[in-house]
Structure 1
Amino acid sequence: MTRWLFALLALCALHAHAQPRRIVSLLPSLTETVCVLGHCSALVAVDDFSNWPDSVKRLPHVGGLEDANIERIVALKPDLVLLTSSSRAAARLQALGIQVVAMEPKTLDDVRVAFEKVGALLGEAEAAKREWMRMNDGIAQAAHAVPASRKGVRVYFEVDSGPYAAGEISHIGELLKRLGAANIVPASLGSVPKLNPEFVVRADPQVIMIGAREAAEMRRRPGWERISAIREGRVCTLDSAQGDVVARPGPRLADAARILAGCLSR
């Protein structure tokens, strides 16, 4: 906690001297956070996957987690680059004298911390608190909308083919818990573990939430025709826009909760 307070004070001190006017964001959830806090106009470039709000689609796209275009980023002369802690670009950009702030939003608490950090950088600390409270209220409302009869159902959320699933300790897993669902992927397996498909058959989820691309091949997996969710037609297929909302641990998590609640309520 002490280290976090020192870091926050440092961010506030930085803002007192120079609020960033040229920002590059290399993570969609951070792009969305900057925009929700009213500073979309400060963005001069984003990663290849940032696509919300619509205005960021017109910005230069400069790569992603593993392939950020350092030369192009430097040429844009940013005051600040926001990226994930695991990005290879951080050390190279810092060596070139560019200010970097790294975050790793994976859980709901990580999202709160990201709001606070970005809010401090932008001079929007109070707005960040309001947005966090608004988002929490939206998640609570989504949970209230799930019928009592659907509480406790066993859920499998597939993040990607593999299959990779959202575990209990991922932000998706935490949302499912708040909605009253029982995630079949325990915390002991990690945040987004790769599963043996037979594990899912044995766990027998009552609801499956999955992207359209993965849904097309899911039914060809051996034994999956025996899963309750498939037999009873409780497979909730998310389109790409819905998948983006749910997958990104950022300011649209209330919308994500509403999408997941809709899947549970069918």
Structure 2
Amino acid sequence: MAKSWLAGALLWLLAAMGQAAEPPQRIISLTPHLTELLVDIGAESRIVATDDASDYPPQVRALPHVANYRSINIEALLAQKPDLVVAWRSAQARMLAPIEQLGIPVFYSEPTDFASLSQEMRALGERLGLQQNANAQADAYLARLATLKAKYGHGESISVFYQLWNPPLTSVSGYAWAAQAITLCGGRNLVDNAASPYPQVGLEQIIKANPQLILAGSRDTHVLDHWQQWPMLDAVKQHRLTLINSDELHRFTPRALNAVEQVCQAIAAARSPQP
């Protein structure tokens, strides 16, 4: 079976060489944020397969799946005869080495901050011959980002703890997008200097730091209830325990700014004196 799919792939690649000048028309996305970006810039009709986690917008859920967060089904991927694979560099480059050896082009994504996402949108649009759409989407995204910075990025610094999950009590630091959102909105992330982007932290450390605001990326309305055991904390006394839409905040797409605005609004509210 391995020989048959390899032979078929090689024959298809030879045929595709004559069409190299054409923009890719059969795209496989191996990560959710790239699936969403493809739709944003107008390439939805070209997506032929995705990974298990690609769930937005809803219509992409019906597409075949050829990967999950741990592995890529190379045989299923080749069966889709892609002329471009889009993937997350740090997580998937090694797994895609056999695909690149076969000559199938791969577009790698690795946005490092909110501004760099616009660059990736433009690069993807150029690769697909959709520059006009991609540039318009990137410009709109940057304009909204600038508006959020101008509106919320100034004023009194508010100490913020972001609960990624618990237990174990885990937070965000450095270039994790939730950490960047706190800084963008004028907050002071209590664990920003941690060595890991997703550090496990001690409860005693957070109690001692006494955050003015505690956020959690979750839809579970009870996920912050355990903080009520510590009524002396400023965030608990002032009822500043706020849920953020993690599906948006932790996905590297323009929708992340919806959740960033939630973070900004929570920090702005924490600056306001309580009645």
Flag whether TM exceeds 0.5 (same fold): yes
Contact 2:186 2:267 in 1 (8 A): no
- Please report how far the alpha carbon of residue 115 of structure 1 lies from its aligned counterpart in structure 2 after TM superposition: 1.5
Whichever residue aligns with residue 190 of structure 2, its letter is: I
Distance 1:70 1:226 in 2: 55
Distance 1:147 1:106 in 2: 20
Whichever residue aligns with residue 236 of structure 1, its letter is: T
| 1:10-54, Cα deviation, whole Å (9 max, x unpaired) | xxxxx9812111111111111111111111111111122222212
Alignment RMSD: 2.8
- Please report how far the alpha carbon of residue 231 of structure 1 lies from its aligned counterpart in structure 2 after TM superposition: 3.1
- Which of the numbers 117, 128, 152 marks the counterpart of 2:123? 117
State the match for 1:134 in structure 2: 140
Alpha carbons of 1:224 and 1:106: their partners in 2 closer, same or farther (altered >3 Å)? farther
- Which of the numbers 174, 180, 183 marks the counterpart of 2:186? 180
**1:160 lines up with 2:170 in the alignment:** no
- Structure 2 matches for 1:211-230, cutoff 5 A? 211-212=217-218, 216=222, 218-220=224-226, 225-230=231-236
Alpha carbons of 1:112 and 1:229: their partners in 2 closer, same or farther (altered >3 Å)? same
Gap regions ≥5 residues in structure 1: 1-14
State the match for 2:56 in structure 1: 52
| 1:174-222, Cα deviation, whole Å (9 max, x unpaired) | 2222221111122453433232333322222211111347774554479
- Structure 2 matches for 1:1-266, cutoff 5 A? 17-85=21-89, 86-87=91-92, 88-146=94-152, 151-161=156-166, 162-212=168-218, 216=222, 218-220=224-226, 225-238=231-244, 242-266=245-269
Contact 1:169 1:187 in 2 (8 A): no
Distance 1:24 1:197 in 2: 43
- Please report how far the alpha carbon of residue 103 of structure 1 lies from its aligned counterpart in structure 2 after TM superposition: 2.0
SS of the residue aligned with 2:33?
helix
SS of the residue aligned with 2:162?
strand
Whichever residue aligns with residue 251 of structure 2, its letter is: R
Distance 1:225 1:50 in 2: 40
Please, which moves more after superposition, 28-37 or 128-137? Answer: 128-137
Alpha carbons of 1:27 and 1:216: their partners in 2 closer, same or farther (altered >3 Å)? same
- Please report how far the alpha carbon of residue 263 of structure 1 lies from its aligned counterpart in structure 2 after TM superposition: 2.6
SS of the residue aligned with 2:67?
coil
Contact 2:115 2:142 in 1 (8 A): no
SS of the residue aligned with 1:24?
strand
Identical amino acids, percent of aligned pairs: 26
Whichever residue aligns with residue 68 of structure 2, its letter is: G
Alpha carbons of 1:59 and 1:126: their partners in 2 closer, same or farther (altered >3 Å)? same
* TM-score normalised by length of structure 2: 0.78
* TM-score normalised by length of structure 1: 0.80
Contact 1:201 1:223 in 2 (8 A): no
Please, which moves more after superposition, 209-218 or 181-190? Answer: 209-218
Distance 1:218 1:169 in 2: 24
Return the index of the structure with the highest Cα Rg: 2
Distance 1:256 1:211 in 2: 9
- Please report how far the alpha carbon of residue 224 of structure 1 lies from its aligned counterpart in structure 2 after TM superposition: 5.0
Q: Give the 4+ runs in structure 1 shifted more than 6 A.
A: none
SS of the residue aligned with 1:31?
helix
Distance 2:61 2:147 in 1: 31
Alpha carbons of 1:125 and 1:224: their partners in 2 closer, same or farther (altered >3 Å)? farther
Whichever residue aligns with residue 248 of structure 2, its letter is: V
| 1:118-177, Cα deviation, whole Å (9 max, x unpaired) | 12211223433332221122123334554977x411112223333332214223222222
Count of aligned positions: 248
